[in-house]
Structures are given as structure tokens and as C-alpha cells.
Structure 1
Amino acid sequence: MAFSLGPRAASAGYRLAVFDRIGSTNTEALVRARTGETGPIWLVTAEQTAGRGRRQRSWISPRGNLASSVLEVIDTSPAVAATLSFAAGLALEAALQAVSLEARMRSPVSEKVTFHLKWPNDVLAGGRKLAGILLEAEVVARDRLAVVVGIGTNVVAAPEGMPYPAVALRDLGIDIGAEDLFRALTEAWAEFRAIWDMGRGFGEIRRLWLDRAAGVGQQVSVQSGQSMVSGLFDTIDKNGCLIVATSDGTRVAVSAGDVYFGTAASVGAT
């Protein structure tokens, strides 16, 4: 099966660029934006060799896994554009729900899997990292903002030797192809991108995201650089910052960092 857009994505004007092998779909999208590409366009590859996650961490995607990015050039501020990552998380969770349902219908012995969104940009299954999202933005011609949302999902294989537990859909008994997941993702992206509506709909995105969030109300620590904030995961605010309620009654807004839940919070590992 070849990579293709879902009908809703196609009707919304999205185009598609497919690669057999590429270093990074995010890098390719930014290069195109610098040379005049305005999108909206999806880029997807069968194999990614030089992908990256947050803080320039490596994200290699072997054949069978899904590595994709969507590029849109929009008129908004970087702060507002950053909230689009929450819409991306919702889109990926919805796509995963759709393909896992299809897999269970084909194989009734498969168990239902619950996916959770981990602030700021991961999708978990059973507490293990299944997917990551990386949003990058850059000002291009006419002072418009090129926004690239990279989405990588472990479909057939999860990386080993990482500082966190990881899992693939195949490990969970969900036997689907990257092409099926990509098509579902483009459909869900068109839906949640429309709800987001240049940031005007972030209130609804925030509500939906919190309904699916991992760790709300639980002990959490967030490490940002050399500083660590610990307390209870209270909520996310109107800007997408994580709000930590500390033991002294302070509510601290965290804009970026690595999140550790529960007992792992005290040792700095998920």
C-alpha cells in the first residue's frame, strides 16, 4: 500500500510529498518553506535516517515505522503557533484509536489499548512512549511563520537503550501498516486543525487534550535545564504551559521541560 491522504485532508487543500528514504521530514519541510513553499503539505517517508526530537535528540525511524511532517505557512505569532502541538497530539491519538479499532475488528482477540497524551509532546501506551511530536517554526518571506509539525510513531519497532521505556504498536498487538496510520492521521489533523482555528479554538483543544492527558492530579516533576519543579500536575493554562501545584501552595507555570511522573519524579526517569 502506498502513502495517501485521507479524503477530508485532500478536500481541505493539503498536498503530499512521499519519500522512500530521507534524513528528516521536518528538515525537508523547513528547506521548502525557505524557498517559497507555503503549504499546506504533508511530507512522509518510508525510512528516516536523521530525524530529531526535542532538544536535538535523535529520532531514527526504520522502515515500517511512521515519520511524517505537515507544513503550514500562517499569519500568527510563535506563541500562538506553539499551541498547535496540542492539536497534533489530539489528531494522533484519534488516528491511533481509529487504526486500533480496525485492528481489533480484524482480530477480535486483540485487547483494547488506551492512549494518553503526555505534556508537552508525547503519546503513551501503557506508560511507555509510543510517539513523539516536534513543532518547529521559522519566519519566512513577508514575515509569515512557517510552522512544521513532525510526528513520529513506533509502528513495528521501538528504539532500545533510551532513557525512557518505549513501545511499538506491534508490541501491543495492533497489526497495522504505517500507510494506514498516516491516512488516518491526515484525516484527524484536518479535523483538529480546523478546531484550533489559528489559535482561536485553543480553549476547546485544551479541554479535549486534558481529557486525554496522562498524570493530571498526580505527582509530577518537570526538569528544565538545571531547575526542577515538583508537585501535582494541576492543568495546562491558556498558553499551553503546564501548571504544577507545589507543596507550599504555589502554582508554577512551566513552558518547557522533561516531565517525570509518580515515583519516577524523584529519580529523574520515566
Structure 2
Amino acid sequence: MAFELGSGAARAGFRLVEFAEAGSTNQEAIAAARAGDAGRCWFVTMRQTAGRGRRGRDWKAPDGNLAATLLLRVPHDPMTAATLGFVAGLSLDEALRTIAPDLQLKVGLDGFDGAGAPGRADRLRLKWPNDVLLDGGKLAGILLEAEPLTEGGFAVAIGIGVNVVAAPEGLPYPAASLSSLGYAISAPRLFVALADAFASVLRVWDEGRGFASVRRLWLDRAAGLGEDVAVRIGDRIVSGVFETIDEEGRLVIRSSQGKVRTVAAGEVHFGAVASAN
């Protein structure tokens, strides 16, 4: 088999199901939950043909990219379960920093690249609610899908798609792949680090009781914090400054008039794009 669990994930009781090709690893996970799977199981492939991103967009994984879904059974309300998206983002961020430490920082030729402290800028950033950015381009997307269980609680499929060898084209936003930036990291190698990191961050999350700690870690790596932000919610646009995320993971925006609003879902733009919106 191409994929395997890391030692940390194996010790924590996670399992693994690998596919040579899958339509959607999220759908495979949900089908397993309906058939009685106990959860804590990864469903992975390097070729996904019918995956979905947020807002119904296609998310296909060509040969060599990573499509991985973790199935969990949780007793929580949907709001608590939704914070698992932040666990997933942190886990992938940590996995990438572990196997490619030089992804963390970049240094401009003159010692200053125009972002953050002089001479140093974090190349990896987490974009609310569920994206991982590398050099400002979308490297990975995360999609949570849940359904109630007859015995109570929810089955949650936490899908993670990573552009390892190729990024999709024709998107309305910049995209990046590890390969295009010179990183020869295979999907199986990345998955080992991801599974181990997820096991660690999930312990911090502690069935939702530790979300305050997850929230602090996420904010340390957040894209656009303190910058202009515009969020499209249906036909409306909410704009202002990205102040924080609240205790439920919602985006907190302060308008130019000082009004504070919280946003639970929407399409986010930062910087110049936000100003134009």
C-alpha cells in the first residue's frame, strides 16, 4: 500500500482505508458511517474524480495530489463539531512545517519582503474558515460534512484536499502546489505527517473543551488578521477589518464606523480585493 499511518496516529487508535481511485473520499467516509463504522478512520487516495469543495465547487485530485478524509463520530451539537475545521487546518499546517521547515519563512533579497516584520514572513497561513495558503495561493481546502446518527450525535467527514503535484486552473483565486514551488513531497509522505499531527491537535481540541487553545494557535497563523476584509454572503458583502475569530469560530469584523459583526460563513477576500469590494 502507498499510504500508511504514522506511529502517533496508530497509537491513538486511528485506522486507514486506501483507494487507488475514489469519486469522493468524503462520500466514502459517510457511506462507511451509515454502514456502522465506528469512526477514527482515514479514507485516502491520490486520485479523486468527483470531490467537492465549499459552495459546491468541484475539487478533483489528479494523480499525485492528496485527498484524505477523516471520519469521526461526535456527540456534540453542530456548532461544536464545526470547529473541527480549525483542527484540520492546524494539523495540515503543522504537518507541512514538520516535513518542510523552510516553508515557514521567506526572506526578501533586500531583507524585507513587504509583509510582516522586516526580513521575515510566514509563507504558510490559515485562511478563514478552512483554507491553507502558501505564498498567498490556495494550497489546500477543507470541507466538513456531517449527518445525524440514529443513536445520537453526528458522523463528521473532515475532507482535506492538498495540491501536492498540481494546482487546479481557471479558479477565481490564486492557487499553489508544492511541486510548482520546488517541493518534491509525495502525498503518502505528507499523509503520514498529517495523520500524526491530527492525532495531536485532536487531543488539544478535547471533544471541543479545548477549542480555546486551538483558537489561539489558529490565530497565530491566520491570514489577514488586522487587515481589510470583505465577505460575500449571498448577495450581500460585509466589510471592515478582520479582528479575530470568536469562541465559536465565527469571523469577527469591525466596520469603519466601529460596528462589530460576526460571520458564520461566506466567501472571504483580503487586502486590495477587499478594498475594491
**TM-score, scaled relative to structure 2:** 0.91
**Closer/same/farther in 2, CA of residues 23 and 254 from structure 1, 3 Å limit:** same
Q: Measure how far apart 1:265 and its partner are.
A: 1.3
What is the Cα-based RMSD across aligned positions, in Å? 1.6
Cα deviation 1:11-56 (Å, max 9, x = unaligned): 1110000000010000110111111112110000120000001111
Number of the residue aligned with 1:46:
46
Contact 2:65–2:165 at 8 Å: present in 1 too?
A: yes
What is the aligned counterpart of 1:146 among 144, 155, 163? 155
Contact 1:132–1:153 at 8 Å: present in 2 too?
A: yes
Identity %: 53
Q: Measure how far apart 1:114 and its partner are.
A: 2.0
Q: Measure how far apart 1:101 and its partner are.
A: 2.9
Cα deviation 1:108-150 (Å, max 9, x = unaligned): xxxx972000000000011110000001111013012101100
What is the aligned counterpart of 1:127 among 125, 136, 140? 136
Cα deviation 1:220-261 (Å, max 9, x = unaligned): 001111111100000000000000000111010000001000
- Residue type matched to 2:208 in 1? G
Taking the aligned partners of 1:141 and 1:71, their CA distance within structure 2 comes to 16
Contact 1:103–1:176 at 8 Å: present in 2 too?
A: no
Taking the aligned partners of 1:224 and 1:190, their CA distance within structure 2 comes to 33
1:179 maps to 2:188: yes
1:168 maps to 2:213: no
- Residue type matched to 2:141 in 1? G
What is the aligned counterpart of 1:188 among 177, 181, 197? 197
Number of the residue aligned with 1:72:
72
Long gaps (5+) in structure 2: 105-120
- Residue type matched to 2:95 in 1? A
Contact 1:36–1:141 at 8 Å: present in 2 too?
A: no
1:254 maps to 2:263: yes
**Segment of structure 1 superposing worse, 92-101 or 157-166:** 92-101
Contact 2:65–2:164 at 8 Å: present in 1 too?
A: yes
Q: Measure how far apart 1:178 and its partner are.
A: 0.3
- Residue type matched to 1:48 in 2? Q
Q: Measure how far apart 1:9 and its partner are.
A: 0.5
Q: SS at 1:142's partner residue?
A: coil
Cα deviation 1:174-196 (Å, max 9, x = unaligned): 11100000000000000001100
Number of the residue aligned with 1:29:
29
**TM-score, scaled relative to structure 1:** 0.94
Contact 1:222–1:228 at 8 Å: present in 2 too?
A: yes
Long gaps (5+) in structure 1: 105-111
Taking the aligned partners of 1:181 and 1:141, their CA distance within structure 2 comes to 35
